[in-house]
Amino acid sequence: MSITLKDVDHVANLARLELSDAEKTQFTDQLNAILKYAEKLNELDTENVEPTSHVFELVNVMREDVQKESLPIEKVLLNAPDEEDDQIKVPAVLE
Amino acid sequence: MSPFELSIQEVGAKLKNKELSVTELVDASYHRIAETDESIKAFITLNEDAARKQASLLDEKLINGQAEGALFGLPAGIKDNIVTEGLLTTCASQFLSNYNPIYDATVTRKLRDAGAVTIGKLNMDEFAMGGSNENSSYFPTRNPWNTDYVPGGSSGGSAAAVAAGQVYFSLGSDTGGSIRQPAAYCGIVGLKPTYGLVSRFGLVAFASSLDQIGPLTKNVEDAAHVLQAIAGHDPKESTSANVAIPNYADALTGDVKGLRIAVPKEYLGEGIDPRVKEAVMNALKTYESLGATWEEVSLPHTEYAIATYYLLASSEASSNLARFDGVRYGVRAENPENLIDLYRKSRSQGFGSEVKRRIMLGTYALSSGYYDAYYLKAQKVRTLIKQDFDQVFEKYDLVIGPTAPTPAFRIGEQVGDPLTMYLNDICTIPVSLAGVPAISVPCGQVDGMPIGMQIIGKAFDESTVLRAAHAFEANTEFHKQRPQL
């Protein structure tokens, strides 16, 4: 599998990244090199191998459904770039 | 002589005898930083006012006979991807250049409870992505042994600060080698605990199934004490292991008689500098003279580890870094056209190129049509790599090899070629994929630059790892070498 500039555009859009033309070209080359290297993994037969998503057996980690303290609003807003009426402000979500 | 050259017991004794105060230790730290950080640049942010206030409070406790524990009064540096409430935490990224955390990481709280003093936040590769500290969006940190050379990464600042005598110890984080490799490059000790031993609550996530926080110290004994303070189950962190924590200092007996060591042939093959190999072979002779035995083994899937790691880590990173959208915190781009544009511009302006590259790689590997071929495949190969270790640990207590294929390289030498940079991690990455613990200890020099030996243990068997590392140290002088600054 080989990545084209079109693929890079698509992925950049998914990742919410804006790339310059120079970056797009550079990334196309670099990603192709890395993915070519990754094709090595196809040398291995993994038909009957379970995937590892977590190294040690952990079953659902739960706690009692008991209400605990929430964050005070000043802390929530401490790093907010823009706020109004105790809410974080952003451009319109729906247009 | 710097008080940081005193052993951890000596410092404790002098504090109790009033020959030393916490304030003096903290003074020594800031004095050393003023002397050396112009050229080393280990720190992004210093915490001087708060540190001195804390030192006064600790000195009062000392006078009242309330000083407790090995870490009491020790100046510590914290890698800048571990949150510290009220103290700027940037992950060495422009995106978080204004981020003031509203909470402390569990390890931050534990260090404070143990009486350690946070001196400042240490430089790193941006979002922990890198192996040289050159990916910091602020400035590169330099190796105290030769400032034209990299300190390693991503915990480059953490390693350099300890090697330069700026702090008594530091905390770093390790995903594919980011504690162990800079420790090796800077001639100090660095420990990556078993996955799950140390809480990740408050560690800005890079790859959630691989990240671990660990100590960087000038010797093994200090590492044991720092690990003691930070290890343990955390109800706030659901991948944190619920295991009994032994007394790690009890493991430092000096006795390795009968210890069975496995040396994977894949760790001493081509690609490893022959002088690094020679140093590890000499270390094995030392172990033999102490009554341990070693044999060559094979970890046959080693050659697939790097590709596996970069697919998995980048995929997890692409998901973890989605939270940096400019909405709730971080530097928000100005004049976005709409909400999506706000995300795009904030991220593109805030992230450096290595971060973008890994997000792109991870997004691609997880995207529809490619998930099975890349991410799922990598997860299956991860199982095979872990099984290699499981099998070896049925017959052996430890696995030993070099920490890195070469000593530190020159600043700027590898930035143009990401793939070459990735290959520096060949010795450390398989260990991360298996989730087992490993320590790097200094074991020699090549061309005047330090090199490290990696000692890998069974899951949750840090005691054996520390015992072996300590015994090696007790019978060699490498850990006593200091850079000329």
Catalytic center residues of B: 79, 154, 178
Partner B contacted by A7 (CB < 8 A): yes
Three-class secondary structure of residue B112 per DSSP: helix
pLDDT at B384: 98
User: CA dist B309 to B142, B283, B304, B305, Å?
Assistant: 27, 29, 9, 6
CB contacts < 8 A (A, B): 159
Please name which of B426, B385, B435 lies closest in space to residue B193, comparing C-alpha atoms.
Answer: B435
Interacting residues of B42 by C-beta distance below 8 A, sequence separation 6+: B33, B77, B122, B123, B141, B151, B156, B157, B158, B160, B161, B164, B166
* Segment 418-437 of chain B within 8 Å of chain A by CB: 418-419, 434-435
pLDDT at B1: 84
Q: Give B13 or A53, the one with higher predicted confidence.
A: B13
pLDDT > 90: what percent of chain B?
95
Which of chain B's residues have a Cβ under 8 Å away from the Cβ of A58? 196, 238-239
Q: What is the pLDDT of residues B307-348, one digit of tens each?
A: 999 999 999 999 999 999 999 999 999 999 999 999 999 999
Nearest-neighbour CA in chain B from A18: distance (Å):
6
Contact B360 A27 (CB under 8 A): yes
pLDDT at A1: 59
Q: What is the pLDDT of residues A11-56, one digit of tens each?
A: 999 999 999 999 999 989 988 988 888 899 999 999 999 999 888 8
What is the DSSP code (8-state) at residue B26?
H
pLDDT at B196: 97
pLDDT at A94: 78
Comparing CB atoms, the residue among A3, A41, A61 nearest residue B378 is A41
Q: What is the pLDDT of residues B422-458, one digit of tens each?
A: 778 899 999 999 999 999 999 999 999 999 999 999 9
pLDDT at B418: 72
pLDDT at B78: 98
Partner B contacted by A21 (CB < 8 A): no
Between CA B278 and CA B280 the distance in angstroms is 5
Query: Which chain A residue has the Cα nearest residue B367?
Result: A11
Mean pLDDT throughout B2-10?
95
Contact B239 A42 (CB under 8 A): no
Q: What is the pLDDT of residues A53-81, one digit of tens each?
A: 888 878 889 989 999 999 999 999 999 99
Contact A46 B384 (CB under 8 A): yes
In which element (H, E) is residue B198 found? Answer: none
Tell me which of A36-45, B87-96, B157-166 is least confident: A36-45
Partner A contacted by B311 (CB < 8 A): yes
Between CA B172 and CA B159 the distance in angstroms is 8
Between CA B122 and CA B46 the distance in angstroms is 9
Q: Which of B360, B370, B415 is the mutation pick for testing A, counting most A CBs within 10 A?
A: B360
Between CA B263 and CA B455 the distance in angstroms is 10
The percent of chain A in helix, strand and coil, each rounded to the nearest 5, is 40, 5, 55
Q: What are phi and psi of B440, to 5 degrees?
A: -110, 130
**Does residue B233 register a pLDDT over 80?**
yes
Three-class secondary structure of residue B238 per DSSP: coil
pLDDT at B380: 97
Query: Which chain B residue has the Cα nearest residue A20?
Result: B348
pTM of the complete model: 0.97
Query: Which chain B residue has the Cα nearest residue A14?
Result: B363
pLDDT at A53: 87
Nearest-neighbour CA in chain B from A86: distance (Å):
13
Mean pLDDT throughout B230-249?
96
Query: Which chain A residue has the Cα nearest residue B382?
Result: A52
Q: Find out whether B250 and B466 touch, Cβ atoms under 8 Å.
A: no
Partner B contacted by A59 (CB < 8 A): no
Q: Find out whether B93 and B350 touch, Cβ atoms under 8 Å.
A: yes
Comparing CB atoms, the residue among A11, A61, A76 nearest residue B363 is A11
Q: Which amino acid is at B49?
A: D
pLDDT at B417: 73
pLDDT at B104: 98
Q: Find out whether B410 and B293 touch, Cβ atoms under 8 Å.
A: no
Nearest-neighbour CA in chain B from A68: distance (Å):
12
Residue B415: pLDDT band (50, 70, 90) is: confident
Comparing CB atoms, the residue among B345, B359, B384 nearest residue A44 is B384
Tell me which of A38-42, B128-132, B406-410 is least confident: A38-42
Which of chain B's residues have a Cβ under 8 Å away from the Cβ of A51? 376, 379-380, 382-383
Q: Find out whether A55 and B195 touch, Cβ atoms under 8 Å.
A: yes
In the numeric block, which tokens belong to residue B230?
């930070």
Partner B contacted by A52 (CB < 8 A): yes
Q: Which contacts qualify for B99-104: CB closer than 8 Å, 24 or more apart?
A: B99/A79, B99/B329, B99/B330, B100/A78, B100/A79, B101/B202, B102/A71, B102/A75, B102/A76, B102/A78, B102/A79, B103/B202, B104/B202
Query: Which chain A residue has the Cα nearest residue B431?
Result: A55
Between CA B469 and CA B271 the distance in angstroms is 25
| End-to-end C-alpha distance for chain A, whole angstroms | 38
pLDDT at B321: 98
What is the distance, to the nearest Å, from the Cα of residue B27 to the centroid of all Cα atoms in its chain? 25
Q: What are phi and psi of A5, to 5 degrees?
A: -60, -35
Comparing CB atoms, the residue among A14, A38, A51 nearest residue B307 is A38
The mean pLDDT of chain B is: 96
Contact A90 B370 (CB under 8 A): no
Between CA B273 and CA B184 the distance in angstroms is 14
Query: Which chain A residue has the Cα nearest residue B351?
Result: A17
pLDDT at B414: 83
Which of chain A's residues have a Cβ under 8 Å away from the Cβ of B303? 40
Contact B384 A1 (CB under 8 A): no
Three-class secondary structure of residue B260 per DSSP: strand
